[in-house]
Amino acid sequence: MIDLHMHTFLSDGVLIPSELVRRAQVKGYRALAITDHVDASNVEFLVPRLVQVCERLSGKGRLTVIPGVEITHVPPDDLGAVVEAARSAGARMVVVHGETLVEPVAPGTNRRALELEIDVLAHPGLITRQEAALAAKRGIALELSARRGHCYTNGHVARMALETGASLVLNSDAHAPEDLLTFEEAKRIVLGAGLSGKQVERLYQQAMRLVEKKT
């Protein structure tokens, strides 16, 4: 299992990083990114601490641990500055909280995020075909989400990605121990989004290529 969107108690998760990583090891994970929520108020404080702890934890049990962020509910006009600050502070996996149906994300967030140097657009809701094509052009992965609510549009996101050639990744958006996925659970979620068994393996390979690019 590879998971590029996970949270600890440094934002709104319940586990310290060490416990999250240990539980992922037991589940058989090969790689994960810790992507706690940031905006302009905390990005310069949080990222160096994640970088430090991820360096210590990575490689334990042959598990790659990547320091990252999920930039969350930042106004579209301010996204560029927060992305730049996160990169400068050492974040290697930059995720932006997309226009999910279940939260009041500012309109235009998807589009603006896809114009920036990010890696994953999380739970992008009713993403347009034009936005998905931009993701494909810029090499930004669109997320299929295992999280309740955010997963409502997985089928739509998968269809837009298939039509435009955009990359897809499946992430847990884990906040608690019970959110971590086994490979079989992940496979069922991908199939439930309307993809085939062959495409399940393709998603895994896309996630692995992103991990290799960031390590």
For residue 185, list its beta bridge partners: none
Give me the residues of the chain with pLDDT under 70, please: none
CA 1, 26, 147, 73 torsion-angle sign = negative
pLDDT single digits (tens) 69-121: 999 999 999 999 999 999 999 999 999 999 999 999 999 999 999 999 999 99
Q: What is the pLDDT of residue 59?
A: 86
The Cα–Cα gap between 25 and 31 comes to 9
Backbone angles phi, psi at 142, to 5 degrees: -95, 140
The count of other CB atoms within 10 Å of the CB of residue 81 is 12
With tokens 């641990």, the residue in question is 65
Tell me how far CA of residue 171 lies from CA of 5, 32, 35, 50, in angstroms: 6, 9, 11, 19
The Cα–Cα gap between 29 and 204 comes to 12
pLDDT single digits (tens) 85-97: 999 999 999 999 9
Non-local CB neighbours of 113 within 8 Å, separated by 6+ positions: 71, 76, 79, 96, 98, 121
Q: What is the pLDDT of residue 121?
A: 98
The count of other CB atoms within 10 Å of the CB of residue 148 is 10
8 A C-beta contact, residue 35 and residue 28: no
Domains and CATH numbers, the chain: 2-214 (3.20.20.140)
8 A C-beta contact, residue 36 and residue 7: yes
Tell me how far CA of residue 164 lies from CA of 49, 61, 134, 135, 140, in angstroms: 37, 37, 9, 9, 12
State both tokens at 177.
């121990």
Cα-only R_g, the chain? 16
